[in-house]
Amino acid sequence: MVERRQLGRGRAAVRRIAETRYCDEGSFGFGWIQPDRMQRCSHALVHEGRVWLVDPVESEGVDERVRALGEPAGVIQLLDRHGRDCAAYAHWLGVPHHVVPESLPGTPFELVRVASKPGWREVALWWPEPRVLVCADALGTTGFFRARGERAGVHPLLRVRPPRRLGRLDPEHLLVGHGEGVHQDASEALSTALRGARKRFFSLVFALWDRRRSL
- The model's pLDDT over 50-89, given as tens digits with 9 standing for 90+, comes to 999 999 999 999 999 999 999 999 999 999 988 999 999 9
pLDDT of the residue at 149: 86
- The model's pLDDT over 166-202, given as tens digits with 9 standing for 90+, comes to 999 999 999 999 999 999 999 999 999 999 888 887 6
- The model's pLDDT over 114-159, given as tens digits with 9 standing for 90+, comes to 999 898 999 999 999 999 999 999 999 998 899 888 999 999 999 9
Phi-psi region of 160 (alpha: psi -120 to 50; beta: other; left: phi over 0): alpha
Q: Decide the pairing of beta strands 71-77 and 50-54.
A: parallel
Q: CB–CB of 193/199 below 8 Å?
A: no
77 to 83, 147, 198: CA distances (angstroms): 7, 27, 27
What number is the average pLDDT over the span 155-164?
93
* Secondary structure (DSSP) of 72-127: EEEEEE-BTT--TTHHHHHHHHT--EEES-S--TTSS-EEEEEEEETTEEEEEEEE
The confidence band for 111, taking pLDDT boundaries of 50, 70 and 90, is very high
**Domains of the chain with CATH codes:** 16-214 (3.60.15.10)
pLDDT of the residue at 56: 97
10 Å CB burial of residue 212 (0-12, 13-18, 19+) is exposed
- The model's pLDDT over 24-36, given as tens digits with 9 standing for 90+, comes to 999 999 999 998 8
